[in-house]
A and B are shown apart, each in its own frame.
Chain A
């Protein structure tokens, strides 16, 4: 039995806790430690993902002699320990988080090299990652709440880390407020479920659930709070403020943490409640949230002047695609004919879009960070002519911008096509809106490209050079993956995405992985 599930959590925590002590020795030692710990975490994550894909769901019981023993003999058939349940969907999220973590850490090594307080920066970065890994792999509701809070506290502190005359603190404050309120609502919902079913384990609750009025309140509270945390429309006002004021490498990780909240919405909707609730209504609520997010996000993005603010509004719009794809899957969950006709494809599109979105959006924010690193401003009206001096950055920007606009052969096209095709059968109107949003996205990024990179070389940016090597490696890693995912979408869908979608649909399989060992 492997320990990689626990190591996935233990290594980032160990790295974070030791970071201030290594920082006392010297900066070179600390940077080396950060890179070693990052590599170790990514290695554990990759091995874990490989194990899940080859051997099926992995269950890890904390504090037990035999970590595969989910239900102790003297517990009366109830799982009492904290369990990690890592199925194909969790593995998919772990892979996404690990890729983004490696890129962001490498990027930080040079983008933060002239800043103060780096010990705390790296410690919080590893805590943030531990929170994300915990959120996507835990099988326990209260444990999820704890990781949610670790993630949001570390994220808020990092978002406000470079004070920037108080502006960044504003962004961090908004993030901290919204995530704490979301966390408390989630906790109250967990309490409601515990009061009815006397357990915190998702699989156990799913096996005994009897959908009462109180469960309805709980599911509404959970979906509302997690939608708040993931930045979809009614509660999207924090995303532009926080994403634009945080350091760029952190923004690319905050995106992953919003993806983890999104994952939790679907884990709760599919695995915890499943068909016991009215999936058509909940599915439609999620679809409508998705459509509103798509449209409002992109239309707010068009007039923005600050490049990071513009990208932040686009991230609201892109979250809409995932909500629509998975919401369609949820709405037809009860109908096996419609499910096989287009529901599975819609879910695969939504899930595939999660990793694609994380890759190109992370790359876009890293590029914005590179531009700010060299030029010191993010205002589109002041920038221009950087294509002459920052050739690599410009190349990466072209790749990411075409990917977000859904132009073949980049990865955004692959997942968006799956969403268009399947949603068109479900309701043509939604697919048309999604395509219009995609065109508006392209228009917006053409504007950004033109004002940052095109035009004659400006006199005030005469001395601007290409960014240092570690930043280029971080960005290049993401760019290469975007191209690979765009060139071989079938392979990725077959190996990673399809098992994830099937794992979400297969509620009884999730329950059996925990409760089967009686």
Chain B
């Protein structure tokens, strides 16, 4: 069944906003409620919107399963490499070595009631981003697999 053009246009308009919101939730995961999984799920809900608004065969031209699987693996690899990188420096697995260094995400957290600074947290935001990439890939793969079971009746 073909969705009406109102649905398709609304999906097209909403999709970038959903992307922005999901990225915001991922990037601010160490400051506000949210994080990699939650933001990734929001991003994947944008993908779901596209999948529902367009026909399955049309939308798989944009959202390819191989691409999503690659995203999933890349996110997971980034996560485990971030965890392993501490070991190279001689500290324990998962040690947050970026935190006090002052470079990327390396500022120390100000004490007291201040406005939170995005450039803090060390490895935590990097791991949030990795988890976000992984979750959007994984949930999209699941959605594609589950939706491929729907029989189209035209």
Q: Tell me if chains A and B make direct contact, with any CB pair below 8 A.
A: yes
Range, interface on chain B? 10 to 19
**Taking CB as reference atom, which chain A residue is nearest B134?**
A17
Cβ < 8 Å to B, chain A residues 51-69: 60-67
Q: Which residues of A lie under 8 Å from residue B119 when comparing CB positions?
A: none
B62-90 to A contact mask, C-beta < 8 Å, 1/0: 00001001101110110011011001000
- Which of A9, A10, A20, A66 is in CB contact (< 8 Å) with B73? A20
Instruction: Please tell me if A13 contacts chain B, counting CB pairs below 8 Å.
Output: yes
Cross-chain contact B80 with A10 (CB below 8 angstroms): yes
Judged by a CB distance under 8 angstroms, whether B95 is at the interface is yes
Chain B, Cβ-Cβ closest to A17: B76
B80 x A63 contact (CB < 8 A): no
Contacting pair B70 A3 (CB below 8 A): no
The answer to whether B94 and A63 touch across the interface, beta carbons within 8 angstroms, is yes
Whether B84 contacts A66 by the Cβ 8 Å rule is: no
When distances are taken between beta carbons in the complex, the residues of chain A under 8 Å from B83 are 10
How big is the A interface, by class? 20 to 34
State whether the Cβ of A6 lies closer than 8 Å to any Cβ in chain B: yes
B93 partner, pick from A10, A19, A66, beta carbons under 8 A: A10
Nearest to B94 among chain A residues (CB) is A63
Q: Is B16 on the interface with A (CB-CB < 8 A)?
A: no
A3: nearest residue on chain B (CB-CB)?
A: B87
CB-CB under 8 A for A63 and B70, given A6-B87, A14-B84? no
Set of chain B residues within 8 Å of A60, measured between Cβ atoms: 92-93
Residues of B within 8 A of A67 (CB): 91-93
A14 cross-chain contacts in B, Cβ below 8 A = 77, 80-81, 84
Contacts of A6 in B (CB 8 A): 87, 92-93
Contact A20 B69 (CB under 8 A): yes
Question: Which A residues are CB-close (under 8 A) to B73?
Answer: 17-21
Note all chain A residues with C-beta closer than 8 A to B59: none
B149 to chain A, nearest CB (A): 14
At the interface, yes or no: A491 with Cβ under 8 Å from chain B? no
Q: Are the CB atoms of B84 and A65 closer together than 8 Å? A: no
Kindly state the separation between the CA atoms of A6 and B94 in the bound complex, as whole angstroms: 10
Q: How far does the alpha carbon of A64 sit from the alpha carbon of B91 in the complex, in Å?
A: 7
In the bound complex, what is the Cα–Cα distance between A303 and B76 (angstroms)? 47
Q: Is the CB of A17 within 8 A of B91?
A: no
Q: A3-B87, A6-B87, A24-B70 are in contact. Are A17 and B80 (CB under 8 A)?
A: yes
B95 touches A65 (CB 8 A): yes
Whether A20 contacts B70 in the complex (CB less than 8 A), given A3-B87, A14-B80, comes out as yes
Whether A21 contacts B70 by the Cβ 8 Å rule is yes
Q: Which residues does chain A contribute within 8 Å of B94, judged by CB atoms?
A: 62-63
In angstroms, how far is the closest chain B Cβ from the Cβ of A154? 14
> Given the complex of chains A and B, what is the CA–CA distance between A61 and B95 in angstroms?
10
Which A residues, 270 to 296, have Cβ-Cβ distances below 8 Å to chain B? none
Collect the chain B residues with CB atoms within 8 Å of residue A63's CB.
92-96
Contacts of B77 in A (CB 8 A): 14, 17-18, 21
The complex places the Cα of A312 from the Cα of B96 at a distance, in Å, of 46
Q: Which of the residues B70, B80, B92 comes within 8 Å of A65, measured between beta carbons? A: B92
Chain A stretch 154-205: residues in CB contact (< 8 A) with chain B: none
User: Does A64 contact B92, Cβ atoms closer than 8 Å?
Assistant: yes
Q: How far is the CB of A419 from chain B (nearest CB, A)?
A: 39
Cβ of A62 and Cβ of B69 under 8 Å apart?
no
B94-111 residues with Cβ-Cβ distance < 8 A to A are: 94-96
The reply to whether B95 and A64 form a contact with Cβ atoms under 8 Å apart is yes
Chain B residues contacting A10 (CB-CB under 8 Å) are 80, 83-84, 87, 93
- B-side contacts of A3, CB under 8 Å: 87, 92-93
Chain A residues whose CB sits within 8 angstroms of the CB of B76 once the complex forms: 13, 17
Question: From B91, which residue of chain A is reached at the shortest CB distance?
Answer: A65
Chain A residue nearest in CB terms to B92: A67
Q: Shortest beta-carbon distance, A72 to chain B, in Å?
A: 12
Residues of B within 8 A of A64 (CB): 91-92, 95
CA A476 to CA B69, docked complex, whole Å = 36
On chain B, the residues within 8 Å of A9 by CB distance are: 93
Q: A2-61: which residues lie under 8 A (CB-CB) from chain B? A: 3, 6, 9-10, 13-14, 17-21, 24, 60-61
CA of A9 to CA of B77 in the docked complex: distance in angstroms?
14
Q: How far does the Cβ of A10 sit from chain B's closest Cβ, in whole Å? A: 6
CB atoms of A62 and B93 under 8 A apart: yes
Task: For A19, list chain B residues within 8 Å (CB).
Answer: 73
- CB neighbours (8 Å) of A24 from chain B are 66, 70
Chain A residues with Cβ below 8 Å from B74 are: 21
User: Which residues of the partner chain B approach A61 to less than 8 Å between Cβ atoms?
Assistant: 92
Residue of B nearest to A21 (CB): B73
Closest 8 CB pairs of A and B: A67-B92, A6-B93, A17-B76, A63-B94, A64-B92, A20-B73, A65-B91, A62-B94
Can you identify 14 A-B contacts, CB atoms within 8 angstroms? A6-B87, A6-B92, A10-B80, A10-B93, A14-B77, A18-B73, A20-B72, A60-B92, A61-B92, A62-B94, A63-B92, A64-B91, A64-B92, A64-B95
New A-B pairs, 4, CB < 8 Å, besides A3-B87, A62-B93: A3-B92, A6-B92, A10-B83, A21-B77
**Which of A's residues lie within 8 Å of B, judged by CB?**
3, 6, 9-10, 13-14, 17-21, 24, 60-67
B residues with CB within 8 A of A: 66, 69-70, 72-74, 76-77, 80-81, 83-84, 87, 91-96
